[in-house]
Structure 1
């Protein structure tokens, strides 16, 4: 659906050349929600401008649905952009127009007849949960409602791709979740390909299928969200994952628990996907005649499935405890001893 091949974007500044995107190769599949995450200066905003044709790559190509966006201009590029919509961090609404008029605006530009415009606007107001607010002005809306208008406006021309540029970073956590739920619903209903640019791992965790982690203009790690949560490879990825995984709290819990337990073993067990619902701990206790006490745990949910950790204190005969740990490994669980007798 979306393919970036050997993309490099270099800006010329008074202090010399600045490489904003450096040798990026990326493929985004039809109908998926793909996240691009990075801190300020990572190059993610440049990436989104390359996707909608606002910037041309210095080298490489950007292809969307078979059309090379990086090689067209003028009327052809304007026509292509009607299929690549965007929502923004600060909404970018027309403050002198009502909700309905804001949503109608791109249809006016596209030359859609008035009656057809009116019908489409009504459909979109219903879709984004703003029924009865069509005659309100942006100043009369909450932040979440404004973003719903932005989403409706972006959907007006039936785009194939929706780009989201930090679309929830100006919203409170509860409103953020509501907007993310709306995007997920739209993705499932319309089969729309969504690309999210963000610096918040919660956004990636909640709705994305896959994620690319950017640092200094490069994609340093990429994969399914669950896979990245389970085994982050790069230091920056580990930082992002720790924002939502509770890893820091787990480490603190292990330090405190090591002070409390003077015998037995503390085991950190990692569960992924369907493993989170299997009675592995009870099976281990029955088979190996040990005492097991769950002393700390957390489960996070992603679109690919849940991911969680448990800290379990094991007491019993040394051989039985070792056999229990081997049982966990044989059950395809990651089991790590985090304290010794």
Structure 2
């Protein structure tokens, strides 16, 4: 669906040339939810703007649904943009128009006739869950409702690709989750290809099938979300994964627990996919002469499986503890010793 080949983007600056995107190569499949994550300045916003022709690459080519977006201009580019919609962090709604009028706007531009336009708007209002709010103005809506209007408007012309530029960054966590669930639902119902950029690993974890990690204009890591959670390779990727698996309060809790349990070992277990379902702790207690205290745990669900972390304290003879650690390894569960008492 989307082919990005050897793409680079250079901007002039006071100190010479700034390479915002540096030799990026990506293939995004039809019907996929693909995430691009990076901190500010990584180049992700520039990359997504090149996907709909808002920016042109300095080098390389971008092809979407058979069209070379990086080469076309004028009416051909306008036609292509009807198939490549975008939603934004700050909604970009027309404040003097109602919900229905905002959604209808791209249909008006496309020359869709009144009755057909009205029918399509009604379909979209229902799809995004805004029944009863059709005549409200943006100032009367919550942040989540505004983004639902933005999504409905983006879907008006039946696009093949939906680009999401930090679409949930301005929303609270609960509203963010509801918008992400809506995007997953739209992806499944319509088979829509979704490309989103974010700096939040929670967003990637919740809805994406694959993810590319960007740093200094380059793709430094690429894979399925579950694989990236399971085996993050780059330091930046490990920091992003820790946003979800080891939030700041976890570190404080562990430091406190280490004071409470000076003997034995504090161990972090990592479960992926089916290993999250097995009765591991029960089996350890039955088979080894050690005492186990469960300290803290969390299971995160991705589109391709579950990923869990569990902190436990193991107390007993050193050789029995080592046997238990070896057993955990044999069960395809990751083990990291946090402390040795």
Following superposition, the deviation at residue 247 of structure 1 comes to: 5.0
Deviations 1:99-126 (A, max 9, x none): 1111111111111121111110100000
Task: Report if aligned partners of 1:297, 1:311 keep a CA contact under 8 Å in 2.
Answer: yes
Following superposition, the deviation at residue 95 of structure 1 comes to: 1.6
TM-score (norm 2): 0.95
Structure 1 partner of 2:39? 39
Following superposition, the deviation at residue 336 of structure 1 comes to: 2.3
- 256-265 or 170-179, which deviates more: 256-265
Deviations 1:173-230 (A, max 9, x none): 2211111111111111111111111122221121111111111111111222222222
Structure 2 partner of 1:243? 243
Structure 1 partner of 2:189? 189
Structure 2 partner of 1:258? 258
TM-score (norm 1): 0.95
Confirm or deny that 1:8 pairs with 2:8. yes
Structure 2 partner of 1:134? 134
Structure 1 partner of 2:268? 268
| 1:269-284 matched pairs, under 5 angstroms | 269-284=269-284
Unaligned runs of 5+ in 1: none
Distance 2:254 2:130 in 1: 47
Distance 1:263 1:38 in 2: 40
Structure 1 partner of 2:203? 203
Distance 1:274 1:147 in 2: 35
SS at match of 2:159: coil
Distance 2:74 2:60 in 1: 20
Structure 2 partner of 1:75? 75
Structure 2 partner of 1:144? 144
Task: Report if aligned partners of 1:214, 1:220 keep a CA contact under 8 Å in 2.
Answer: yes
Distance 2:142 2:169 in 1: 14
Structure 2 partner of 1:324? 324
Distance 2:327 2:262 in 1: 24
Task: Report if aligned partners of 1:63, 1:69 keep a CA contact under 8 Å in 2.
Answer: yes
- 6-15 or 25-34, which deviates more: 6-15
Deviations 1:24-56 (A, max 9, x none): 111111111111111221111111111001111
Change (3 A) 1:255 1:136: closer
Distance 2:254 2:166 in 1: 35
Distance 1:338 1:172 in 2: 33
- 58-67 or 232-241, which deviates more: 232-241
Unaligned runs of 5+ in 2: none
Task: Report if aligned partners of 1:246, 1:298 keep a CA contact under 8 Å in 2.
Answer: no
SS at match of 1:85: strand
SS at match of 1:135: coil
Distance 1:310 1:133 in 2: 44
Structure 2 partner of 1:112? 112
Following superposition, the deviation at residue 264 of structure 1 comes to: 2.6
Following superposition, the deviation at residue 252 of structure 1 comes to: 3.6
Following superposition, the deviation at residue 14 of structure 1 comes to: 4.4
Change (3 A) 1:247 1:334: farther
Following superposition, the deviation at residue 289 of structure 1 comes to: 3.5
Aligned length, in residue pairs: 341
